[in-house]
Chain A
């Protein structure tokens, strides 16, 4: 018993480690897909790792007036992202970390990271930092209710807010065509795109001052600090991807801890994330970036979809 408990914790740690080490690879895959869609020769899939290595080797430059908050924020942001990576079931559901935290905790981890990055952005007192922070807060105040509403739709179906139990409930019932899940999935995808700073809300590949949100907040960071924040951002993208992949297409995830099931689980999640990355690349290629003042419309549409998901659950699926 003692040994199996230890083994379970070891597996949970291994799963978290797998998620955070694969996160840059997912970004590399998305970039490669986008480059191919644009008829460019893609950069190597390992390029994000090389960038991170470069950042970690470089010297850190901190502004004169910056307080401890500015130095602490990269570690806090990466720390909360690693914690949220631990909460999300990547390969297996039956792990001790899943029982600790549920999806509301996951949302608050994201909120905590956002709170500290906004504070740190304003800490140095530059114009860009404040601007980026205020934009980020505006967008997140609209994105968070949409995300919670989408997640509550799932929770109402499975009668739990725990992610692992939700996935096990869905696997237990096999393929059920639920109208609420279609809306919740679309709503959650739109929120994920807005929260991870992708097109049409933010453009991850430019530093155009009129439009940037996330980049404006981290403009003052350099060297190791920038590397930590970039990595945290990649983990966030990965966490959202895993959340969408495993909640709406749960098949393949390991419910028992046998080597075969775990192997299938790893292959399944890699396949699902590759497909999701391709979908994201196509989506970003076909859309143009929205004006900032149109972003609330986009997010209120996401909220409407999540709300419709909840309504169709109540109206159609029960009673």
Chain B
């Protein structure tokens, strides 16, 4: 399947999915929390647009609902909640030092190649138009995991966790045109609840160890350890 033989709508799906992958790389390089959350919101927006476009091409009206859900939750509500939590924790001016940004992004490129290799047999089984993007969705999941590994700030790790969910949604979208509606609604609700719970968790963590740096948690011990 060569891109030249596809219609412009199908080519636009590829362009959008490549941009979603790019936002994953961009998240790896952001050292300010607000910028990280903004890029995450952009990823949600692009994902929602991709879902709407896939719905349009494959004639699957239920995907419009997932697209709308993604846009509302991932592009607006969750970033808004995270921003508010960052403001309340007074972290908006904090800069997280990235140890080796170039090495991290090159590791990300390695992950993309790895997921391409992994997804090759899946691709040959599928005959949907979007089958080429399956490896990209896997790469988005792996890049989000890389984000969690390279960060020590709890808020950035939560953004990474949400980005994993973005990748899984993308994988479901492009490999089987979305999950059943009930599953999708359940996951969306779960993510929303997770965002609320993480907010509570941030404050708990702040009040017990006075920091959001997860490395500090290594100091926690049982009370009477002699």
Residues of A at the B interface (CB closer than 8 Å) are 173, 175-180, 182-183, 296-297, 300-301, 304, 307-308, 311-312, 314-319
Contacts and interface: CB of A to CB of B under 8 A. Distances in A.
Contacts of B18: 179-180, 182-183, 308, 312, 316
A317 B101 contact: no
B21 interface: yes
Nearest to A307: B109
A311 B112 contact: yes
A307 B112 CA distance: 11
A176 B11 contact: yes
Interface string B1-27: 111100010011011011101100100
A175 B18 CA distance: 18
- Give the most central of A177, A304, A316: most B CB within 10 Å: A316
A316 B116 CA distance: 10
A307 B108 CA distance: 11
A151 to B, nearest CB: 18
Nearest to A181: B15
Contact of B3 (A183, A300, A317): A317
Contact of B14 (A173, A175, A307, A317): A317
Interface stretch (B132-140, B149-157, B217-225): B132-140
A316 B133 contact: yes
B92 interface: no
Given A173-B4, A316-B133, A179 B109 contact: no
Interface in B101-116: 101-102, 105-106, 109, 112-113, 116
Contact of A315 (B8, B11, B102, B116): B116
A20 B18 CA distance: 38
Contacts of A296: 102
A315 B19 CA distance: 14
B116 A314 contact: yes
B11 A183 contact: no
Given A173-B4, A315-B136, A319-B132, A182 B15 contact: yes
Q: Is the interface of B mostly helix, strand, loop or mixed?
A: helix
A297 B123 CA distance: 35
Contacts of A318: 2-3
B3 to A, nearest CB: 4
Contacts of B22: 183, 308
- Give the most central of A175, A307, A312, A315: most B CB within 10 Å: A315
A318 B101 CA distance: 30
Contact of A311 (B102, B105, B109, B133): B109
A311 B25 CA distance: 13
Contacts of B113: 311
A296 B116 CA distance: 28
Contact of A178 (B3, B19, B102): B3
B77 to A, nearest CB: 29
Interface string B153-192: 0000000000000000000000000000000000000000
Given A297-B102, A317-B2, A179 B8 contact: no
A316 B136 contact: yes
Contact of A304 (B25, B116, B132, B133): B25
Nearest to B18: A179
A307 B22 CA distance: 11
Contacts of B101: 297, 300
Nearest to B11: A177
Interface in B18-45: 18-19, 21-22, 25, 29
17 contacts: A177-B11, A177-B15, A179-B18, A179-B19, A182-B19, A296-B102, A300-B101, A301-B29, A304-B106, A307-B109, A308-B21, A308-B22, A315-B116, A315-B132, A315-B133, A316-B3, A316-B132
A179 B105 contact: no
5 tightest Cβ-Cβ pairs between the two chains A and B: A179-B18, A177-B11, A317-B3, A312-B18, A300-B102
Contacts of A183: 18, 22
Contact of A316 (B4, B8, B17): B17
Given A178-B14, A179-B17, 15 more contacts: A173-B4, A176-B11, A177-B14, A177-B15, A179-B19, A182-B15, A297-B101, A300-B102, A301-B29, A308-B22, A311-B113, A315-B136, A316-B17, A317-B3, A318-B3
